[in-house]
Structure 1
Amino acid sequence: MNHKLWLLGRVATVGGHVLREKITRPKARSVGDVPASGAAITAQWLTAVLCRDVADAEVVAFSTTNGSSGTSTRAAIRVEYNEAGTQAGLPTELFAKTTTSFSQRMLLGGGKMIDGETRFFMDLRPQVELEAPLGYWGTFDSSSWRSIVLMEDVAATRGAVFIEPNAPIARTQIEDLVRNLARLHGTFWEHPSIATLKNPNDFLAAIRSSIDMKGRCAVGMERAEAVIPETLYGQSERLWAGVERAIDIATNDMPQTLLHGDPHIGQTYVTSDGRMGFADWQVVMHGGWAHDFAYTVNSGCEPEDRRAWDRELLELYLDELARAGGKAPSFDDAWLAYRQQSMFAYAAWAFTIGRAVYQPKMQTDETCLTLLKRIATALDDHDSLGALGV
């Protein structure tokens, strides 16, 4: 109840900020400013944040293209520098993500995601070798829940093409994603720098404080009836118990590492040289490794491919994890964790297709149904509820 009262207060505060911004249309000029949108960015502000470590460097012009809106507002930015900036090799192809609308701020702020990408790109990304965009600047305002992240535009710099969630993925591609996860997890295995991040229990509690996620998952099951296995259809209460149990295990019963948090196949891309990478780090948190592994494999693979590949993918992951500095569990223990940890992936997509009118439409129904079919079939094949004892 206290959290709900806090969130109600935030509704009033954030709503007031959004209204004032629409009226005054403030421009960002100094390093301490947080642009409300791409339209608030100025060359002066870009100079402050991008040229801060290069004497005499200055942004002389910029342009924005390819704007879109979802859980955040996004745009590509092309930057031109003076001679000092050009000679220093400062980045010219950027991608900006802002929280512009009221719904975006309440979703990301209320869900404790408002600072996720800032933390990842500014503090954590430089410490790990994996295929992911580089980060150049990130900050947020705790009162208005304005936020911005400037990152590498991998479409321009690496020829990246984002993976279409409804298309099948090749084995070599899912293997590359699994290796990326293992390097991420191994690098931050029980690392003190991740202790202040939220954990899966925190994340679930934050979502539930603002949205009836359990109820929306039940609605989602009805809307996705055609793709839910008969053995699971109608068992919304039991599935939710499984979600809560799996999330608690990932929080309290597994070695803690840095998690992407939301590594579904639609968050991935392939570069021009064939490397697979992860984008969209808003949900970054600390928890048990299998949360990410199960989510990636079971959302990315068609059921027949996953049945053929998942044991060998797990072996590949464990080998790479050990090389990257993690303490790999035995295969049997890892297989049990994998079986248990697809529950949140199921809830995320049942809740998305089961959205209420007050929730933003984050994905198409086609994408929701494709991923729910893959994930729910994996839950059925692996008897995930039985593995969790619910």
Structure 2
Amino acid sequence: MNSKLWLLGRFVVVGGHVLWEKVFRPKARTVDDVPVSGETITEQWLTAVLCRDIPGAEVHSFEISDGSRGTSTRVAIHVRYNDIGTAAGLPTELFAKTSTSLRQRMLLGGARVIDGETHFFKTFRPMVEMEAPRGYWGAADPASWRSVALMENIAVTRGAEFVEPNAPITRDQAEDLVRNLARLHGTFWVHPSLSVLHTPTDMLVAVRSAIDMKTRSAVGLKRAEAVVPAALHGADERLWRGVERALDIATNDLPPTLLHGDPHIGQTYVTRDGRMGLADWQVIMRGGWAHDFAYSVNSGCEPDDRRAWDRELLALYLDELGHAGGIVPSFDEAWLAYRQQSMFAYAAWAFTIGRAVYQPEMQSVETCLTLMRRITTALDDLDSLDALGV
């Protein structure tokens, strides 16, 4: 009840801020300001956040394009500097994500991920060599739940194209993806900077305080029944116990590292050089490596491909993990962890297709069904529930 009252209180406060912003349309001008949207960004604000380390550098002008809305409001920004900024090689092709609407802020703030990308781009991204966007600024206002993440526009700088989640990926792409994850995990294996992050169990508690995820997942299981293996039909209670147990293991039993947290195949991209990368770092967490590995492999691979590749993909991952600084478990230990950690992806996509009318439509029905088919088939093939003892 306390969490519900807290969320209601935040709704009132954040709603008041959104109303005030609609009336007064405040512009972002100083480094302490958090823009409401791309339309409230100014040359002064871009100078404050992009030129802060280069004396005399200034942003002279900028152009905004390619706006879209989802869980955040997104725009591309092309920046022009004075001669000092240009000579310093300051970034010109940027991508900004803001939490503009009340719905966006309540979703991100209620789930305690409002500052996830701020943490990633400011603290973690500079420390790891992997295929992911570079970050240039991030901030979140705790009162209004306004947030901004300013990052590299990889579509321009790297020729990146996002992977269509309903299309199959190739073996080479799957291999590159798990190696990329291993570099992330190995770099931050039991790293002291992880202490600022939530765990998978924390995240589940936060989400459930905002939305009845268990009920919505049961609804989603029913809605996706046509693509779910018969052995899992009507098994929503057992599946939910599996989700809770898997997240407990990821939180308390596996060595902690930096997790992407939501690495489904729709969050990945391919560069012009053919590299697989990960975007959307909103849900970073501190937890066990297999959470990310299982989510990526099971959401990205068609069932026949996964059956043929998963053991070799795991071996590749473990090899790269060791090179990147992680402590490598035995293959049998890792295989068990993979089987067990295949659960959260189910909850994430059952919840998405099982949304109530008041929740935003975060993904198309087609994408939800594709990923539910892949993920639940993996649960059935891997006997994940038996591996968890539920």
TM category, shorter: over 0.9
Match of 1:292 in 2: 292
Question: Structure 1 residue runs of 4+, over 2 Å off?
Answer: none
Q: 1:357-388: CA deviations, max 9, x gaps? A: 11110000000000000000000000000000
Secondary structure of the structure 2 residue equivalent to 1:295: helix
Q: Could you report, residue by residue, the CA deviation over 1:329-378 in whole angstroms, capped at 9, with x for unpaired residues?
A: 00000000000101110000000000001111000000000000000000
Matched ranges for 1:329-344 at <5 A? 329-344=329-344
Equivalent residue letter for 1:389: G
CA distance in 2 between partners of 1:157 and 1:62 (Å):
17
Specify the code of the residue in structure 2 equivalent to 1:108.
L
Output the CA distance in 2 between the equivalents of 1:249 and 1:191: 19
Q: Which residue of 2 aligns with 1:106?
A: 106
Q: How far 1:196 sits from its partner (Å)? A: 1.6
Which secondary structure does the structure 2 equivalent of 1:62 belong to? strand
Unaligned runs of 5+ in 1: none
For residue 222 of structure 1, report the CA deviation from its aligned partner.
1.1
Aligned partner of 1:125 in structure 2 is 125
Ranges in structure 2 where 5+ consecutive residues have no aligned partner = none
Give the equivalent residue in structure 2 for 1:134. Answer: 134
- The aligned amino acid for 1:316 is L
Distance of 1:25 and 1:195 partners within structure 2:
36
The 5 A counterparts of 1:78-93 are: 78-93=78-93
Does 1:268 find its partner at 2:275?
Answer: no
Which whole-Å deviations, capped at 9, do the CAs of 1:242-271 have from their partners, x for residues lacking one? 000000000001100000000000000000
> Alignment partner of 1:48: what SS?
helix
State how far apart, in whole Å, the 2-side matches of 1:68 and 1:258 are: 29
Matches within 5 A, 1:233-248: 233-248=233-248
Match of 1:33 in 2: 33
Matched, 1:348 2:348: yes
Q: How far apart, CA to CA, are the structure 1 residues paired with 2:251 and 2:359?
A: 27
* Matching of residue 161 in structure 1 with residue 164 in structure 2: no
Take 1:157 and 1:219, find their aligned partners in 2: how far apart are those partners?
41
> Percent identity over the alignment?
74
Aligned equivalents of 1:202, 1:80: Cα separation in 2: 42
The two structures, once aligned, show a CA RMSD in angstroms of: 0.5
Query: Residue in 2 aligned with 1:7?
Result: 7
1:201 maps to a residue whose letter is T
TM-score w.r.t. length of structure 1: 1.00
Distance of 1:356 and 1:185 partners within structure 2: 35
Deviation track 1:4-54 (CA, whole Å, cap 9, x = no partner) reads 211111010000000000010000000000001111100111011001111
1:364 aligns with 2:359: no
Alignment of 1:212-227 (within 5 A): 212-227=212-227
Cα deviation 1:218-249 (Å, max 9, x = unaligned): 11011101111000011000000000000000
In structure 2, what is the equivalent of residue 55 of structure 1? 55
Aligned equivalents of 2:124, 2:53: Cα separation in 1: 19
Aligned counterpart, 2:250:
250
Matched to 1:109, the amino acid is: G
The residue aligned with 2:68 is: 68
Query: How far 1:74 moved relative to its partner?
Result: 0.3
TM-score by length of 2: 1.00
